[in-house]
Amino acid sequence: MIRKTLFFCLTFLLSFSGMAQSADSSLYLQVDLANRWIFRGMSYTESPVIQPSFGYDNGRWNFMVWGSYPMEHHGYVEIDFTAEYRIGEFMTIGITDYFGINDSLGARHSFFDFRRETTMHMFDVYTILEPFRKVPLSLLCSFWAWGCDREEETLKQNFSTYFELSYEKEIGSFTADFFAGGTTGKGFYAERPALVNVGLGLTKEFVIGNLNLPLKTEFIFNPDAQNVYLNVILTLK
């Protein structure tokens, strides 16, 4: 355990040191406030959430740490670690480690539990394609390659997949985005191939001094589960 901890800390410090010395480095941080945490057509909380994040983006590499904390007792908490690399102007490849935890007082998070049968880590390998220079259309292809995406009884890996097509359009001072996402087979998102995340979002950005405050409202419909959500997200950055 001590070796694992030292290795993790050393790797982080070396990476951060290299980034800080880069002339074109760009550090960022933000906080999102939302009435619910809705992710890929599924609700993860029954209360509002606070979602802090910080990272480094130099235009080619992007590293980010993101978290979600509900305003309720014993709610689902998650901390994610993301690394992305942009290939040209039209493709981004990335990997995210989703780490779900019980954040009750006295609970052990077991961060270094990497046994596939018991770990709460889950690795998402994904690609984002933006094939058209003048058309704001993007395609997300996601594959949960390893971790707690597993069947409850057999503990076999589900290898869940998710694909999402999204389109953005400027409408006056607003930005509208349309999206539709689904899965190709039985797994985390559904019991069969299904459309699970369809919706429309509308964003307006407010500027107060040096503070940017994008406000987004989105309507989300999960056709497979027949669930519907109206979500509002305020971002401070």
Lowest mean pLDDT among 46-55, 79-88, 99-108, 195-204: 99-108
Asked whether the beta carbons of 144 and 126 are under 8 A apart, the reply is: no
**Does the structure show a pLDDT above 80 at 98?**
yes
> What does residue 180 show for φ and ψ, rounded to 5 degrees?
-145, 125
Question: For the chain, what is the domain count?
Answer: 1
Q: How far apart are CA 211 and CA 237, in angstroms?
A: 6
Which pLDDT belongs to residue 62?
96
Q: 143, 142, 170: which is closest to 158 by C-alpha?
A: 143
CATH number where 75 lies: 2.40.160
Please report whether residue 9 resides in a domain. no
SS3 content of the chain, % helix, strand, coil (to 5): 10, 55, 35
pLDDT in tens, 159-202: 999 999 999 999 999 999 999 999 999 999 999 999 999 999 99
Q: Bridge partners of 86?
A: 92
Q: Domain limits at 140?
A: 29-236
**Does the structure show a pLDDT above 70 at 224?**
yes
Please report whether residue 202 resides in a domain. yes
The span from the first CA to the last CA of the chain, in angstroms, equals 36
Q: For residue 231, give every residue at least 6 positions away whose Cβ sits within 8 Å of its Cβ, in sequence order, or none.
A: 34, 35, 36, 38, 217, 218, 220
Give me 157's structure tokens.
Answer: 């890996």
Q: How far apart are CA 52 and CA 49, in angstroms?
A: 10
> Phi/psi class of residue 120: alpha, beta or left (left: φ > 0; alpha: ψ in -120 to 50)?
alpha
pLDDT in tens, 17-48: 454 445 346 999 999 999 999 999 999 999 99
Q: 189, 178, 185, 163: which is closest to 219 by C-alpha?
A: 178
pLDDT class for 16, splitting at 50, 70, 90? very low
* Structure-model confidence comparison of residues 72 and 174, the more confident one: 174
**pTM, whole model, 2 decimals?**
0.85
Which pLDDT belongs to residue 15?
52
What burial class does residue 170 get, using C-beta atoms within 10 Å of its C-beta: 0-12 exposed, 13-18 middle, 19+ buried? exposed
Please report whether residue 134 resides in a domain. yes
Lowest mean pLDDT among 40-49, 101-110, 184-193, 227-236: 101-110
Average pLDDT of 197-214? 92
Which pLDDT belongs to residue 236?
93
pLDDT class for 209, splitting at 50, 70, 90? confident
225 three-state secondary structure: coil
Asked whether the beta carbons of 200 and 167 are under 8 A apart, the reply is: no
Give me 129's structure tokens.
Answer: 């394609």
Q: How far apart are CA 93 and CA 89, in angstroms?
A: 12
> What does residue 5 show for φ and ψ, rounded to 5 degrees?
-65, -45
Which pLDDT belongs to residue 9?
42
Please report whether residue 14 resides in a domain. no
**Can you tell me which residue has the tokens 């509208």?**
176
